[in-house]
Amino acid sequence: MPITNITEELQIQSGQGAYPARFHESVAAVVAQLAGSAKAAVIVDANVDALYASSLAPLKSAFPYRTVPALETEKTLAGVERTLQFLQDHKANKETRLIAIGGGIIQDIATFSSHLYYRCIPFVFVPTTLLSMADSCIGAKCGINFGQFKNQLGVFQSPESVEICEAFLGTLSDTDIASGYGEIVKLALTGSAELYSRVERAVTLGGFRNPELTDLIAASLAVKKEVIEADEYERDLRRILNYGHTFGHALEAITGHAVPHGIAVAWGMDLANFISCRRGKLARAEFERMHRFLARYFAMPMDRPVTAAALIEASRRDKKNVRGKLTMALLERPGRLVIDYVDYDSALEASVTEFLELNHAFFGN
Ligand SMILES: NC(=O)c1ccc[n+]([C@@H]2O[C@H](COP(=O)([O-])OP(=O)(O)OC[C@H]3O[C@@H](n4cnc5c(N)ncnc54)[C@H](O)[C@@H]3O)[C@@H](O)[C@H]2O)c1
Ligand SMILES: [Zn+2]
C-alpha cells in the first residue's frame, strides 16, 4: 500500500456518512471549536479533566459535563447506563452532540452510548492517548466488556468528527505512549516497507516522543483509512488489522491485562512473525530485523512467566477463529499481510515454545 500524503484533514468514507479527522495545534483551539456547538453534552476521562481543567473550562461552563473514570469496569453495560442516565438527566435529544474526550475507554463508552440513545445521536471524539489518536479514533468500531469477556458487545457507529490534538500527549505516561506505538508499528507494517522503515528510523533517532510523531499519527490513520474504507464491517480485508492481536489478546488475558494493549500487540506481532517465518512465509532476516526493534522498544518487566500452553489455550477463545483453527494475519514482508488458518497442532506448540525460549528478555521473565 502506498503512503498516502499527510493532510491537514483526513476524510473518512463510511456507509453511515463521511466524517473528518482533523489535526489541531492546541487544546485551546479544539475547545474553542467545540464550545461553539449549538447543543452538547460532554464526557471526559477523569484524569484528563484533572490535568486540563483550565483548558476545558469553557466546555464545562457551557454544557452538561461528566467525568468518567478510564477503567475497564466502566466500559460495561453498567458504565454505559451511567452515561445514558447523564444524557437523560440533562434532557439530551437527537440534536444533542455528545462530545467525548479521552482514550479508547472513553471512546468505546461514547460510541456505544451515542448509538443507543434515541437510536443514535451525533458524537465527536477528541482522542487524548496515542493509541486512540493513531488508530482507534477512526473505523467506527467499539467494544464493551460483558461478564468475563472483554469487548464482547459492540456496534459500528461513525462519529460526526474526530478532533486530534497531539498536545494532550505531553501528560501521557511513557507506558501509554509505548502502547500507542504498538498500533503505529502495526499500521506501518500493514502499509508499506517505507513506512515501517520511517517509524523505525524516527524512533531509533529520537525515541518515542520524536519530532515526526504528528506525521506518524497521520500516516497511521491514512493506512487504516484505506483498509476500513475497503471493508468497513470487517468481512474480509479489515481482518488484517488483527495482525499481532491473536496472541496479543491471549497475552493480555493470561496476565489479567497487566500488559497494555498496544505493547501486547507489539509482542503478538513478533510471535506472529516468528510463526510466519517457521511456515516459510517470512524471510528469517526480516523477522530478525523487526524482532530487534520490537524487543528493544517494547520490552516490559512482567512478574509471571508465560507458557506456550497457557497462550494457546487463551488463543482458542479468540472470536475470530473459524472451524477450530486459529485465524491469524501473517506478514509475508512489510506491507504485505495475509490471512492464514493455523492448526492447533504440535508444530504450533513447538513454534510458540521456541519463541518463548528465545525471548526471555523481551518481557523480562
Ligand atoms: N474501539 C476501538 O477500535 C478500539 C481499538 C483499540 C483499543 N480499544 C480499547 O481502548 C482501551 C484502551 O484505550 P487507550 O489505550 O487509548 O487508553 P485508556 O483510555 O485506557 O487510557 C489509559 C490511561 O491514560 C489516561 N489518559 C488518557 N489521556 C491522557 C492524557 N492526555 N494525559 C494523561 N493521562 C491520560 C487515562 O485516564 C488512563 O489512565 C481498551 O479498552 C481497548 O479495548 C478500542
Ligand atoms: Zn488493537
Question: What's this model's pTM, rounded to 2 decimal places?
Answer: 0.95
Are 292 and 286 in contact, with CB atoms under 8 Å apart?
no
Residue that is written with C-alpha cell 493470561 in the block: 254
Question: Per the structure block, which three cell numbers stand in for 49?
Answer: 479533566
- Asked if the model's pLDDT at residue 337 lies above 80, the reply is yes
Is pLDDT larger for residue 231 or for residue 261? Answer: 261
State whether the beta carbon of 172 lies less than 6 angstroms from ligand 1: yes
- Asked if the model's pLDDT at residue 3 lies above 60, the reply is no
Question: Any long-range contacts for 119-123 (C-beta under 8 Å, 24+ apart)?
Answer: 120/157, 121/87, 121/92, 121/93, 121/94, 121/96, 121/97, 122/96, 122/97, 122/98, 122/159, 122/160, 123/97, 123/98, 123/99, 123/157, 123/159, 123/160
Question: Per the structure block, which three cell numbers stand in for 206?
Answer: 529520537
124: enclosing H helix or E strand: strand 123-127
Closest ligand by atom to 104 CA:
1
The residue whose CA has the least distance to atom 18 of ligand 1 is 103
The rounded distance, in Å, linking the Cα atoms of 287 and 225 is 26
Percentage of the chain lying above the pLDDT 90 cut: 86
State whether the beta carbon of 132 lies less than 6 angstroms from ligand 1: yes
Q: How far is the CA of 132 from the centre of ligand 1 (A)?
A: 7
The rounded distance, in Å, linking the Cα atoms of 227 and 10 is 14
The rounded distance, in Å, linking the Cα atoms of 182 and 362 is 14
Q: How far is the CA of 345 from the centre of ligand 1 (A)?
A: 36
State whether the beta carbon of 129 lies less than 6 angstroms from ligand 1: yes
The two beta strands, 149-153 and 144-146, are antiparallel
Tell me the angle at which helices 27-35 and 53-62 cross, rounded to the nearest 10 degrees: 0
* Residues in a beta bridge with 340: 328
Q: How far is the CA of 177 from the centre of ligand 1 (A)?
A: 10
The residue whose CA has the least distance to atom 7 of ligand 1 is 104
Are 19 and 162 in contact, with CB atoms under 8 Å apart?
yes
User: Which band of pLDDT confidence, cut at 50, 70 and 90, is reported for residue 361?
Assistant: low
The one-letter amino acid code at 312 reads: I
How far CA 108 is from CA of 105, 131, 197, 211, in Å, comes to: 5, 13, 31, 29
CA 214 to centroid of chain Cα atoms: 16
Residue of 43, 45, 158 best suited for mutating to test ligand 1, as the one with most atoms within 8 Å of CB:
45
Closest ligand by atom to 246 CA:
2
- Asked if the model's pLDDT at residue 5 lies above 60, the reply is no
Q: How far is the CA of 227 from the centre of ligand 2 (A)?
A: 14
Predicted local confidence at residue 232, as pLDDT: 83
Predicted local confidence at residue 1, as pLDDT: 39
State whether the beta carbon of 127 lies less than 6 angstroms from ligand 1: no
Residue 111 CA, closest ligand 1 atom number: 1
User: Which band of pLDDT confidence, cut at 50, 70 and 90, is reported for residue 358?
Assistant: confident
Predicted local confidence at residue 4, as pLDDT: 39
State whether the beta carbon of 142 lies less than 6 angstroms from ligand 1: yes
- For residue range 118-135, list pLDDT tens digits in order: 999 999 999 999 999 999
Are 3 and 219 in contact, with CB atoms under 8 Å apart?
yes
Predicted local confidence at residue 6, as pLDDT: 42
The rounded distance, in Å, linking the Cα atoms of 177 and 175 is 5
- Asked if the model's pLDDT at residue 332 lies above 50, the reply is yes
The rounded distance, in Å, linking the Cα atoms of 346 and 323 is 18
Query: End-to-end alpha-carbon separation of the chain, Å?
Result: 37
Closest ligand by atom to 152 CA:
1
84: enclosing H helix or E strand: helix 77-89
Residue 131 CA, closest ligand 1 atom number: 16
Strand order in the sheet with 97-102: 9-12, 19-24, 161-165, 123-127, 97-102, 40-45, 65-68
At 230, is the secondary structure helix, strand, or coil? helix
The two beta strands, 336-342 and 161-165, are unpaired
- For residue range 146-165, list pLDDT tens digits in order: 998 889 999 999 999 999 99
- Asked if the model's pLDDT at residue 271 lies above 80, the reply is yes
